[in-house]
Amino acid sequence: MKIVIFCQVFYPDPSSVGQHMFDLASELAKKNDVTVITSRNNSNNFNEIYSDKETYKNIKIKRYRNLFGNKKIFFLRFLNQIVFSFQILIYGIINNIDKLIITTNPIFSSLVGSVIYYFKRNKIYYWVMDINPDEAIVSKVIKRSIFTNIFDFFNSYMLKNSKHVFTLDKYMLNNIKKKSLQVKATVIPPWPHENVLTKKNKKNPFKEKYKLKNKFVIMYSGNQTFINPLESFLKIAKKLDSDNRFKCIIIGNGNLHQKIIEYKYKFNLKNLLILDYLPIQDIKFSLNSANLHVVTLGNKMKGIIHPCKIYNLIVLKKPILYFGPKESHISDIIRKFKIGLSFRHSEVKKAKKAIINLKNKKLKIKKIQNPFKQKNLVKKMVHLIYSS
């Protein structure tokens, strides 16, 4: 069976979407002819370019190069999405495909999939990892218009005509059903990569380099964007700055990165360390250095995006400090398994008190075995692809 996957990020790109799509492709490639069409540019560093063709673990990978090289400039990123979408559309029209798998990266995948389905009636499987144009509208990047109505038309058409739709949480599923009542969808959360995260090492070079011994480390590691706001964590860092028992660390990049740096220097925060993205092989060291990990979600982003770092933290048995809406997939997991602290963005004082209690061992967080097993979730998805 010839299976083709369209996804703008894929192996060896370090992004979460690319890693999860690779896991699915690897399982499918055990019994099928699998081709992945993706980008040649590293999603975090456009100057890093991958080979245009290769075969890895029986997966044929074909890569198109981005024309514009700065992901921080929205207009250029938007143009890259358009160009890549046009390229995969042409590929899908001129090639024979038994089953086509698309995801929400690029954002125009629903349009591409709709056109291919209209002309070729391919069996299409749609992996919805975020929802647009909703995300862009809520973020105030764009306003509702004829353009967003057209976008939603193709969303509805693709959801209706996909053989099966996969999405990440029940809130996202509810939003999908608002676009198409006829959708055949299953919730499959994004699994953590246990084999990478739990590999034993006697020494932690990250902890040694930044002199974190005897410090209570509170860490945010990931995208720094307005959809995952960090104002609450920055206020925590400010309130704890005079207490040398604590160290606050922010790792990553994004359109809020410069504002975070400006905040640090505005208030002269000595206990706040800001780092850019780390090489993927170093992530296990940085994550393991923290005593408490911060996860955030914008107040209006429930069911639109799905921050998935919480799954890795479960594997690492690390307590979670969540800032966001009262009801979300993150708060549901924390409440169900008792693995962290949940606060609204406005509850900074309460959060500070809870952190100090955690440090002083007056508050204990439960450690659990990972219930989100990669093997089980990938096989469930593959079964649904084979059976529909």
Each domain of the chain, given as residue ranges in start order, spans: 2-191+373-386, 194-359
pLDDT for the residue 106: 94
pLDDT for the residue 280: 73
The tens digit of pLDDT for each residue in 164-198 reads 999 999 999 999 999 999 999 999 999 998 876 76
Higher pLDDT: 14 or 145? It is: 145
Nearest to 163 by CA among 186, 142, 141: 186
Helix (H, G, I), strand (E, B) or coil at 86: helix
The gap from C-alpha 242 to its chain's centroid, in whole angstroms, comes to 33
DSSP state of 305: B
pLDDT for the residue 261: 96
Higher pLDDT: 228 or 93? It is: 93
Q: What percent of the chain has pLDDT over 70?
A: 97
Q: pLDDT at residue 107 above 80?
A: yes
Quick check: do 2-191+373-386 and 194-359 share a fold?
A: yes
Nearest to 231 by CA among 134, 327, 298, 310: 298
pLDDT, average across residues 139-151: 93
Interatomic CA distance for residues 323 and 344, integer angstroms: 5
Confidence of residue 72 (pLDDT cuts 50, 70, 90): low
2-191+373-386 maps to CATH 3.40.50.2000: yes
Mean pLDDT of the chain: 93
Helix (H, G, I), strand (E, B) or coil at 187: strand
Interacting residues of 84 by C-beta distance below 8 A, sequence separation 6+? 8, 39, 64, 66, 106
pLDDT, average across residues 292-299: 96
Interatomic CA distance for residues 155 and 102, integer angstroms: 12
Q: Which CATH class, in words, describes the domain spanning 194-359?
A: alpha beta
